[in-house]
Structures are given as C-alpha cells and as structure tokens.
Structure 1
C-alpha cells in the first residue's frame, strides 16, 4: 500500500469509510467554533479529555457499564493495539490470534518474544470460527486471545453466542481478551433476524479490553485518534503507565474534533451516512461478482469496509494475485491488495485480494468500471498462482 496508494487512480484498497473534511463534519451537527484558537497548545489531557472519553464510553455502554475512567485515548488504534500488547505480552507468553487479520495483531506479540498460534477462520462457513479449535490451542502459558470483530479482511462477525463461548474459555483459563473493534459499529449487512453483535466489553468479564479509532467507521483517519476501553482499572492503569514511554498524549485539536464527531447527533448522522454508503457500494460490488461469477468467489461481508475475494480461471484454479494487482494497477490505475502477500504465511491465500468498498460512491463506480474492462481485455492473460 505504501508503494501504490498515493499514485492509484482508483484506490479500492482503502479500509476507511470515505473520509470527510472538518467542513463536512460541521454539516452533520453544526457548531459555532469546532476549534478554540485561543487555547494554549500544551500537552493537554494526557489520557484524553473527559468529554471525549465520555463520548467514547457511550459507544459501548448504553446502560452505563463503561465510563470515562475506563477509556484511555491513544494516537490511533495502531498505538492502542501496540500499547496493549507492549504492556501485557512478553517472552514466555503464548498468544492466540484470530486469523486472517491485520498483521500487527500477530506479528507484534511475536516480536516481543511471545509464541503465537493462529486461530484460523473457516471460509466454507462464511469465515466462521471453530470454538473447538480455540479450546485445542489453549496452553498452560496462554496469556491472551486476540480478536478482530468485525474482521479485516473478510467482513465476517462474531455473534453474541460465539463471543460468550470465547469469554467462557478465557474465564476458565484466566486468559486476557484483546478485541480490535476498529470496524465497529459498521454493521450494514446482517441477516434480518441477526442481532447486532455486542462489544467484548458487554459480557461481565474483567480481563478484557477493546480498541477502536476514528479512522474506519468514523471517516476521520487524519486526526490520528484511537482508544483502549476496559472494565478493568488494572488494565487501564498498566497501559497508562506504559504509555509514558511511547507517546504522551494526542493533540488537543485532534481531541476536540473527535469529541465533536462522537457527540450526538453528529455520531448518529455520521454512522448513518457510512452505513448507507457501505450498502450502496456493496450492492455495486455484488453486481460485479455476479457478472463475473466464473472468475470470482467470495463470502459477502456482513460488516466493516473490506471484502476478501478470490479470483480463479475458468477451470477454478487460483490466479497469481500479486501479478493481478500489479497488472491491474499498471493498466487501469485500480488498486487492490494481494491476499497471499499481505495475509499469507502458512495459510494459502493465493488468488485472494482484499477490496475496500466504502470509498465515495463515484470512486467505487469508476473503479468497478475499469475493473470490468480489465476482466474482459486482460484477465485471462494473467499467470496462475504457483
């Protein structure tokens, strides 16, 4: 992504919901002065202002289980994840990580000296998780189970009953749960009878934390603001202590913008906008998949902003996804992410690409138009995966 995203004409690899400007933000909930230019630019509230932490807590806790004191504001979810792992995982520990997922979640604990076991999704069951496999991965030194719900890159979700079972396993073995919920609450394609999956924070287990950010569901990646939330004062205090040796605080301007974005009615309007955009663009992507069903296989995502799509030839053999992405970018300017390069390892994701489907609608329409033409003109010239 570093190589191609700034030059891509049609970036369909982006994982954020279509970004908004500060002017856009004001149209969602007008405020006379979003930024106080008279405010001295000191470090500010080290853990985040109480107003911001309260608004973050309200995302999880309509019944008041999570308060401002249970939230630590960070420089994006990437720092929230790093800070949690840096604080809680080290040599001699064993970590179980849901897979496939964002590489940080399994590579960082490994870099700290922990042993990492991948709890692998089952594509045949809609990228569902096998709880018996989880039980089989638990060891005497298992310190943490890492989840990503909704899941990147598949858009799959863990339902309440699955989350409850995971909590039960963790409680039985005194294991911490780290849940990256950065795509929450962008649940746009659940079955009509399906309950919106709860946060991991809602199950009454103390040894849990959730990370989130303003980037994915809230369209404000540019303010670089995320958080750790936990019902455990011990976890929050430990992360806060470690944080002094990483990044002191977020910028006051970022804090102020995020506070406004997560206040009501702004947050409701912003999420409504992004859910509608996700549904509109996903319908367009669904039409593309159906049109080229001989070449494209997928499990339609339930939530988030990404889909994991497999491309095959007419005999059902996987194409070389890296060459596909390179050639597609060269010929059309459409950017996708190759699955075997970005989510590989000992799992066979040859032929898979990750697509982000929540840019602005015109970008999606234009990108799919170019991709359609590529499928007609160039696709069958691509090499197969080795």
Structure 2
C-alpha cells in the first residue's frame, strides 16, 4: 500500500469552508466568475453562451481540444524571445492538481532525489515522497523575501537528483521568483541535466512587484528543454469550477510520457469544461478577465496592508508581490499564537475563516503562529472579514499586549 501523508490544507478546507455563515478569506482563487460574466467581458452580449450545446458528448479530444491547447500554449509566450510553444506540447488535465500529480508520477520514483522549495503546496513534496523518492527541502527565508537562494542548490544536490520543483508565484507566501533567479536556476539544472518543474498556477498575477521589476516569464521561456510548467484556470483566471489545468513542456518526450501515464487516470477532460476554458482564454475575454483580477488583487492587497499597519503590534508579514495569498504571523504578549487553535477560535467567535500555517505548510514547528489569508475574494467579503478580525484582535490580542 502506498503511504502518503494527509494533505493538510485540503483537509482543513474540506472540514471548514462549508461552515454556515462563514466569511471565507481562506479561498485562494481570484473571486470566481460565471459564464455569463465572461460573455459580458467579451462585449459580445448577443451571444447567450460560448457552449455548443448541440455537440454530442463523446470523450472529445483526448489531450484537450486543439483550440484550448493553442490558447494555453500562447500563455507561455509572454515576456519571451523563445520560439512559440507548439500546441502539441500541452496536455489538458483536471486542474493543476492533476497536472502536478501526473508529472511527478511520470518523472520520479524509488532511487530518485527531488529538491522542492519550502514552504509550498504540500502536494509538490509529499507526492514525490509517496512515490519512493527522497526529497530535500529548499527552504525560503524571510530575510531573502522568501525568494530561493540559488547558492544553496549545490549543497542540496546529489548524484541522483532528478528534479527541482519550484512554485512561482509562491503559495502561501505570495512571493515572486524574478527572472534573474529563474535564469540562475535554469543554468544550474542545465549543467547537470536536472528537470525543472514549475508550478505556475498563480501566474500571471504579478500585481504588486517593486518599481522597475518586470513580471518573470514562464520557466518554459528560458531556453532549457527539460522544463515543465503546470497551471490551471482556477487561480488567476477565476474559474475553479471547470476543473481545467495543463502540463506543458519544451521536451516532447516528457509530454508523451505524461500522456502515457494519463491513460491510467482519466481519458479526457469534460467537453463542456474545455469549451468554457477555450472561451475564457480567447483574445476578447482573457484580457478583460486578467485586468479585472489584477485590479481586484491590487485593491484588496491595499486593504490587507492597511489592516497589517493598524495591528502591527500583534501581526507581521512579508508583503506579497503576486498571487492571491499572504502568510501573516499573529502574536499575543510577544509570543506566536497557537495557529490551529487561533483559527478555530476566530471562526467560532467571528465566522471568519482562514488557514493555520503550521499544520498546512509547516513540518515540525515551522511557521508557528502563522496563518494563510486569501485576499483576492470579493472586496466586500474581505472588508467585512477584516473588520471582524480586527475586532477580535483588539479584544483578544492587542488588549492583552497593552495589559
């Protein structure tokens, strides 16, 4: 029997996100949109739906429709001088979670060694371990803005290192790996023939970069064939409900290996989901959709920043530059709170929901007192959630500090 660790953040979300009356500021997707919303964004209000309802519901295109694969491939051309990615180098999956799993299932196994940034989405290091690979954690440091230090890679690498796994933008930190660092990672891996898997599910929401810093390109744009990028419609594109993601690589042999493994999991994605995703990534829709989500992220991060400044005596962070999540540490009497108990107490007293970081993103005692907030929800939800949380903080944390 395969031994796999409980997927803590997903189990916490499953247990709590349906709490009656909860204000969910744990959600990691940009505020969701409907198909009607997409039609309105396109300006083509004479079209009632992008779905072809007369099409027979066969399995459809096994690797994803040609239209969707072409539109996903075009996402990797931003900020890139590289050759356009062929549509045949993309496979459509059931969300990025399936994309990551298939890639790891295909590429690593017993006797292999993986290096994975940490903290990150638990799947990225727990799945390789479950497949029999050894995993070394490439720990992100606060003093470095939670950006990986490439000088540490040499000490982590072994003779059997098969893959380096990164996450850009990072979940839960909301940090960005800039282009120069990505190029250094690529140069290191290329010299040793190591594959790079980049989970880019929050790309391209690089909404709050420092002045003068450009959004980094995809890992596929940096001239190294043995790179893999995964993504989905869930986070930056606000369409988690269609469960559509992708695996893309410059290396056709990797794509073919992933396709062979995929035959054992799912035959194809839903034709309806494929149609909605194709429509959302069409030129007339994807630009206003991303503009809406970028503006929402910037506005809401400003609100969260105001909250952090107001309550700086009991909470701290490294302000996110991208994505939809922030990691915040709360203290009482100068001591980090017990974050699982804190989360449950806040939920019970205020109906505000966010995730505890130490069980969901930490190993051992890492990230004690930290919680993950999702701030790119509807603005009114965030405003109300932060108001209630502020009242709780004033009563239970700040008052204790003053006393």
Whether 1:307 and 2:326 are equivalent positions in the alignment is yes
- Looking at structure 2, the residues matched to 338 and 202 of structure 1 have their Cα atoms a distance apart, in angstroms, of 35
> Which stretches in structure 2 are left out of the alignment for 5+ residues?
1-12
Number of residue pairs matched? 382
The correspondence for 1:5, drawn from 17, 24, 34, is 17
* Aligned ranges 1:1-386 → 2 under 5 Å: 1-7=13-19, 9-29=22-42, 30=44, 31-62=47-78, 64-315=83-334, 317-346=335-364, 348-379=366-397
Q: Give the conservation status (yes or no) of the 8 Å contact 1:294–1:313.
A: no
CA distance in structure 1 between the aligned counterparts of 2:146 and 2:260, rounded to whole angstroms: 37
Report the alpha carbon displacement of residue 206 of structure 1 after superposing the two structures with TM. 0.7
Partner deviation per Cα, 1:302-350 (whole Å, 9 max, x = no partner): 00000011111243x2111111100000001100110111011146210
Q: CA deviation at 1:377?
A: 1.9
- What's the RMSD between the two structures over aligned residues? 1.4
Question: Per-residue deviation at 1:191?
Answer: 1.1
- Supply the distance in 1 between the matched residues of 2:100 and 2:256 (Cα, whole angstroms): 15
CA distance in 1, matches of 2:314, 2:89: 48
Structure 2 CA distance, aligned partners of 1:303 and 1:135? 28
In structure 1, C-alpha distance between the alignment counterparts of 2:48 and 2:354, rounded to whole Å = 40
Deviations 1:48-107 (Å, cap 9, x if unpaired)? 011001110111115642121111100100000000000011000000001100000000
Secondary structure of 1:96's counterpart equals strand
Counterpart for residue 7 of structure 2:
none
Q: Distance in 2 between matches of 1:130 and 1:61?
A: 26
Q: Evaluate the alpha carbon distance shift between residue 77 and residue 136 of structure 1 in structure 2; reply closer, same or farther with a 3 A threshold.
A: same
Structure 2 CA distance for partners of 1:302 and 1:373, relative to 1, 3 Å: same
Contact kept? 1:294, 1:314, Cα under 8 Å: no
Q: Is the 8 A contact 1:43 1:252 kept in 2?
A: yes
Preserved contact between residue 326 and residue 373 of structure 2 (Cα < 8 Å): yes
- For the residues of structure 2 that align with 1:195 and 1:82, how far apart are their CA atoms? 30
- Distance in 1 between the 2:313 and 2:144 partners? 21
SS in structure 1 at match of 2:373: strand
- For structure 1, the residue ranges without an aligned partner over 5 or more in a row are none
**Would you say the 8 A contact 1:77–1:211 is kept in 2?**
yes
CA distance in 2, matches of 1:149, 1:12: 21
Higher mean C-alpha deviation, range 126-135 or range 147-156:
126-135
Paired residue secondary structure (1:48): coil
Distance 1:248 1:379 in 2: 52
Question: Which whole-Å deviations, capped at 9, do the CAs of 1:118-153 have from their partners, x for residues lacking one?
Answer: 000011221121111112100000000000000000
User: Which deviates more, 112-121 or 19-28?
Assistant: 19-28
Q: Is the 8 A contact 2:300 2:379 kept in 1?
A: yes
d(CA) in 1 for partners of 2:88, 2:70: 8
Alpha-carbon contact 1:12-1:357 (below 8 Å) kept: yes
Post-superposition CA distance 1:180-231 (Å, at most 9, x none): 0000000100112001111100111010010000000000000000000111
Secondary structure in 2 matching 1:2: helix
Bigger Cα displacement from structure 2, 373-382 vs 159-168: 373-382
